[in-house]
Amino acid sequence: MWFFSKRYFPFWAVFAALLTTACNKDEVILDDRDHAPVITLDSESGVYTVKMGRELTIAPTVEYAEGATYSWIVDGKLAGSEPTYTAVFTELGEVYITFRVETAAGKAEAELRVDVLELTPPVISLALPAEGLKVLPGVEYTFTPDIQHSDQEDFRCRWLCAGEVVSTQMSYTFREEAVGSYPIRIEASNDDGTSFKEFVVEVVEKMPSEVRFEKLSHYCKTTDRSTFVGRAVYLAPSLAYIADPQFVWSVDGEPVVAETGAVFKFTPDGPGDYTVRVDVTEGGDASERLTRNIVRGVATLSAEIVVHAFADEEQRRRPASVASSRFQHAVYEFLPAPGQLVGEKTEAGYTGNERTHEDAVAYAAGRLEARSYVSLGGFGGYLIVGFDHSIARMESGYDFSIEGNAFDTSSEPGVVWVMQDVNGCLLYTSPSPRD
């Protein structure tokens, strides 16, 4: 049994397992449903400017929009139902607009503002990768910014690289052979004024692009996964600096033609070890697009992971003995979210010196050994404990119990996951000094 206080245990989520369950906490289990729509505005800031009396067209990019319905809402009223919105603004001031996209898979909204002005110099929008812009020597990057009011008379545009003018067109293709940092500046002007935008392109010897399978726990010694014959395991690689990835999966060198998604549901049909490989490619028309405004070359990266398939659950069962405890055996992870009592020294028992993961684990272990509560704070806090034996499935009654903080005027239910440590991630260590 797990033991927590009846009070002050807000918004908690507790995870239980035989021995430990950390092995699955970071897994993202996805089904085959379509992705919800994703909106990218053609204004970097979400603010559009237009000269009074002139027509303005707003044209966002929407991904995963198959079968979508579109709504443009102005002043609480439906003003359009197309992917783009065009209107003439006749009064100076600000107009707030909501763009909504709905599909069977979900809904997305974008809030934007239109500033109606007397003068409208160019407004430059150029979506850049959050991790910075890096390119290999000799690889071309084509920049095509969205520039509002480029249709006005006497519009001019020029690009400068390291202070030298390299283009006077709306688009600019960057290509350099030498490793280093290159400052880029785009200037745009019309009769109403001038605007500019600056950024840096880093030419690097090796791209930071990466495809890898993560360890499932702080304590895991390997990325390997384990399961049983006939039981699916979900495999999802972590990606870094890869635009619009395309996935190809194989098992022991044999391609799995039907699997092309980011998550591979692998179900072994026999015991043994399987090597699963994923090839991630960016390239080919739309997949070359890094952002709405940047197109780059192609790359392919790969990663492998080993899946151990056991014949049946009895191979991993740890029966209880006379020495087994009915209480948790160890605390493996404790990560509270900000919220009530987190860090509070008097009521919650913190010392103020808890600074590391090991400190947090020791704190939680001590509280539970004293049969006191552990507060998980607000939404997202979690605790992982394990038992020194498998939890038996009872024919009647409860398999185990957790004392929480339900009382007459309030109840704060949590989420409890009970899992078998099939991977054996934490068999190699005793994380708690109290274990």
pLDDT in tens, the chain (435 residues): 233 333 333 323 333 333 333 334 444 444 434 688 999 998 888 999 998 998 999 999 999 999 999 999 998 899 999 999 999 999 999 999 999 999 998 999 999 999 999 888 898 988 887 777 888 888 888 999 989 888 887 899 999 999 999 999 999 999 999 999 999 999 999 988 899 999 999 998 877 778 999 987 776 778 999 889 999 999 999 988 776 788 999 999 999 988 889 999 999 999 999 999 999 987 544 445 667 777 765 567 899 999 999 888 777 778 888 888 888 888 888 999 888 788 888 888 899 889 898 999 999 999 999 988 888 888 888 988 888 888 888 888 888 888 877 777 777 767 888 877 766 655 434 333 332
CB 148 within 8 A of CB 123: yes
Other C-beta atoms closer than 10 Å to the C-beta of 74 total 15
What count of Cα atoms within 13 Å lies in the side-chain half-sphere of residue 318?
18
Rama region for 7: left / alpha / beta (φ>0; ψ in -120 to 50; rest): beta
CB 337 within 8 A of CB 378: yes
Considering the segment(s) 123-203 as one domain, its CATH architecture is Sandwich (2.60)
Alpha-carbon separation of residue 351 from 3, 183, 230, 363 (angstroms) = 21, 49, 48, 9
The rounded distance, in Å, linking the Cα atoms of 22 and 425 is 7
CATH for 210-312? 2.60.40.10
CA geometry: angle 65, 69, 75, nearest 5 deg: 120
Q: Which CATH class is domain 38-117?
A: mainly beta
Give the residue extent of every domain in the chain: 1-19+318-435, 38-117, 123-203, 210-312
Are the folds of 123-203 and 210-312 the same?
Answer: yes
Other C-beta atoms closer than 10 Å to the C-beta of 214 total 13
